[in-house]
Amino acid sequence: MNKGQCLCGDVQWQLSAEPYMIFNCHCRMCQKVHGAAFGTYAFVKADQLKWLSNTKNVVNYQSSHKLTRSACNQCGSVVPYATNQPDTWVVPAGNHHQLRKPDYNIFIEDNAPWHTLNTDSPGCETYPDAADLLVVDGLPPVKECGLPESPLTGSCLCGDVTFEVSEPLKLARNCHCSRCRQGRSTAHACNGFTSFEAVTFTSGDDRLKSFKVPDARFFTQVFCKKCSSLLPRKDAERKISIIPLGSLDTDPGIKTGDHIFTDDKAGWYEITDELPQYNQSPPAPVA
Ligand SMILES: [Zn+2]
Ligand SMILES: [Zn+2]
Ligand SMILES: [Zn+2]
């Protein structure tokens, strides 16, 4: 049996069959929900998904008139939900270690300027023909970097939470640790780092919710209570801000520069780019 769970463990499920389709979706809505370059979804029939926990902590957000997404309201992880096709569910692959590699990269026309596209799976501009899914209206592309004259901006999917970043990002990296995979519900997190002071929430800071992994020193996930999109975390102790890059509406002007904690990498994901890889924590601390 192939078990999956959210970051906090309150929502658990298992798959009884091999998914009939798996893809990495690079659309801007998935970027925001996952705070990353893409979300990875495995498709199964309704009777192939069994809940192993109750689902009282599952919250739903209707992201378009054709699609309602679900997440854990304790930790912000994406959890399985029904699609707009009869009898069909999607399961976030980041919450599973063992699956086959994704069949496609989809919506690659929306690929973020800060992300180097993985070439291990064929790319499609929207959905592959085989998917037989309805294309939903997307979000506008990210704007060019306005720094230093104007700040970077970002927002959650529902738009209630907005923020600005007044300084350039110091660096950005792809993290494959198991907490990032479960929390972001995809292959890896894409995190940008800047100073504590640089990030200001311009609306909706009363909508922010955070979940700290109990046995972690720092690992805390910040998300919107309404749409569960991942949002920046201001870490007063380390005097840094960590920005899930998928939340940005402007190009930060740098790309993710390496892969870290690759010892924890999902079994179903191959790294195809030439970026440096570190099997554990990166060599230099974030300044
Ligand atoms: Zn949870
Ligand atoms: Zn998508
Ligand atoms: Zn929101």
SS (H, E, C) 244-265: EHHHECECCCCCCCCEECHHHC
Q: How far apart are CA 222 and CA 189, in angstroms?
A: 13
Say how many Å lie between the CA of residue 50 and the centre of ligand 3. 28
Of 255, 254, 230, nearest to 242 (Cα)? 230
Say whether both 49 and 156 belong to one domain.
no
Shared domain for 106 and 170, answered yes or no, is no
**97 phi and psi, to 5 degrees?**
-85, -45
Q: How far is the CA of 24 from the centre of ligand 2 (A)?
A: 8
Task: Locate 103 and state its tokens.
Answer: 């069949």
Distance between CA atoms of residues 49 and 70, nearest Å: 15
Total structural domains in the chain?
2
Rounded to the nearest angstrom, the distance between the alpha carbon of 207 and the centre of ligand 2 is 23
The CATH number covering residue 122 comes to 2.170.150.70
Question: Based on the domain organization, do 166 and 256 belong to the same domain?
Answer: yes
Rounded to whole angstroms, the Cα distance separating 17 from 2 reads: 8
Classify residue 141: in a domain, yes or no: no
| Tens of pLDDT, residue by residue, the chain (287 residues) | 799 999 999 999 999 999 999 999 999 999 999 999 999 999 999 999 999 999 999 999 998 888 899 999 999 999 999 988 889 999 999 999 899 999 999 999 999 999 999 888 899 888 877 666 666 667 888 999 888 889 999 999 999 999 999 999 999 999 999 999 999 999 999 999 999 999 999 999 999 999 999 998 899 999 999 999 999 999 999 999 999 999 999 999 999 999 999 999 999 999 999 999 999 988 765 54
Based on the fold, state whether residues 96 and 195 are members of the same structural domain: no
Q: What is the pLDDT of residue 135?
A: 65
The verdict on residue 80 lying in a domain is: yes
In a domain, 139, yes or no: no
Query: Which residues contact residue 113 at a Cβ distance below 8 angstroms, ignoring those fewer than 6 apart?
Result: 142, 251, 255
- Spell out the residues 6+ positions from residue 284 whose beta carbon is closer than 8 angstroms to its own: none
Query: Based on the domain organization, do 166 and 86 belong to the same domain?
Result: no
- Residue 227 Cα to ligand 3 midpoint, Å, equals 4
**Would you state the structure tokens that stand for residue 42, as one six-digit string?**
């495995």
pLDDT digits (tens, 9 = 90+) for 234-267: 999 999 999 999 999 999 999 999 999 999 999 9
**Quick check: is 272 in a domain?**
yes
- Together in a domain, 264 and 173: yes
Contact 189, 228 (CB under 8 A): no
Which tokens go with 54? Answer: 């109750």
Domain contains 286? no
**Residues with Cβ within 5 Å of ion ligand 1?**
6, 8, 10, 72, 74-75
Gap from CA of 201 to ligand 3 centroid (Å): 13
pLDDT tens digits, 201-234:
999 999 999 999 999 889 999 999 999 999 999 9
Which domain does 69 fall in, by range?
2-131
Q: Does residue 27 lie within any of the structural domains?
A: yes
Ligand nearest to the CA of 230: 3
What is the reported pTM?
Answer: 0.94
